[in-house]
Amino acid sequence: MIQKQKKNMRQNQKKKLYLLIPVVIIIVIIIGYISTKNDMPNDGLKYNNNKSFVKKQKVNGIIFKNIKCSYDGKNSLISYTMINETKKKIYLNNYDIIVKDKNSVKITRIAAHVTQTLSPNESVEMANKVVGVDLTNAYYMELKLNTNKEKNE
């Protein structure tokens, strides 16, 4: 009789465990969903999170990183950090940003009109506004710099 009770107890424990496992899985999924939802900024902007677009790039000794692209319903804004990783000054004299879709078709060209000298290891925050274009689904950003190692004076 005691063995039968023990056997019934074990069966009841197994049933409870089988019921508990799906409940725990559902709770973990819900918590994961809520935490990722809270990671998104709630500022009314739409963001481009394509890894191929926001990845760090290096062009002519300058690193472009912390790339962000947002759309407010009318205009897009691309912001990034530029860092001179060389041991010499680099003179920036305008540059182009070519934005492409997933088929590598050009969406737009941004002509950044800037003349600035970046010393070694110096960084600068930049932003470019694109009027009337939603770039949140763009896949690639091609950077074409017009630089000189040192400004001709």
Q: Are residues 23 and 54 located together in one domain of the fold?
A: no
Contact 85, 123 (CB under 8 A): no
Query: What's the residue count for the chain?
Result: 153
Q: Are residues 25 and 59 located together in one domain of the fold?
A: no
In a domain, 153, yes or no: no
Enter the pTM of the model: 0.67
Q: Are residues 1 and 27 located together in one domain of the fold?
A: yes
CATH number of the domain that residue 105 is part of: 2.60.40.1620
Which ranges in 40-139 belong to alpha helices (H)? 51-54
DSSP character for 120? T
* Structural domain boundaries, residue 87: 46-148
Count of domains forming the chain: 2
pLDDT tens string 65-95: 999 999 999 999 999 999 999 999 998 888 8
Dump strand ranges (E) for the chain.
46-47, 57-59, 62-71, 75-84, 90-100, 106-118, 123-131, 140-148
Q: From first to last of its 153 residues, what are the pLDDT tens digits of the chain?
A: 667 676 777 777 777 777 777 777 888 888 777 766 555 556 788 999 899 999 999 998 899 999 999 999 999 999 999 999 999 999 888 889 999 999 999 999 998 888 889 999 999 999 998 889 999 999 999 988 876 655 544
